Homo-oligomer: A and B are copies of this chain.
Amino acid sequence: MTQTAPSSLALRIKQAGLRLTAPRRVILQVLDSADDHPDVEELHRRAQAIEPGISIATVYRTMNALAEHGLIERQRFDDGRTRYEAVPEEHHDHFIDVETGQVVEFRSDEIERLQQDIARAHGFEIVSHRLDIFVRRKR
């Protein structure tokens, strides 16, 4: 009998005090192995491919639970759909190609630092932020 190693999200969901149910196991596996920014429909599609019968309502509820516990990040680019990704090792921001919809991740320590400086100057402390840069390939 082969046992799959628990995904990193599977471990973290338990630490968060949430139950690791069969549907969640599948959804977490999908999230763990995703290298893009899938929306709920797409997550559901991928989860169904592994284990049919999982309800889309469960995907929605699982995303909400994971987000509340800080295990995933919600991305709302400009196409309406809410997209998700497992919280990355290191924070990053996004380029969104307006022509192709392709998303490219980047990180600028300088920008991150400047945000801190500006927030401090305003008497704020940063809870989170989002920098989406809509771009077009230069030619």
Contacts and interface: CB of A to CB of B under 8 A. Distances in A.
A124 B130 contact: no
A104 B124 CA distance: 11
A134 B128 contact: yes
Question: How many copies of this chain does one complex carry?
Answer: 2
Given A119-B133, A133-B129, A124 B95 contact: yes
Contact of A108 (B114, B123, B136): B114
Interface residues of A, number: 32
Contact of A95 (B78, B108, B111, B122): B122
A127 interface: yes
Given A76-B76, A119-B95, A125 B129 contact: no
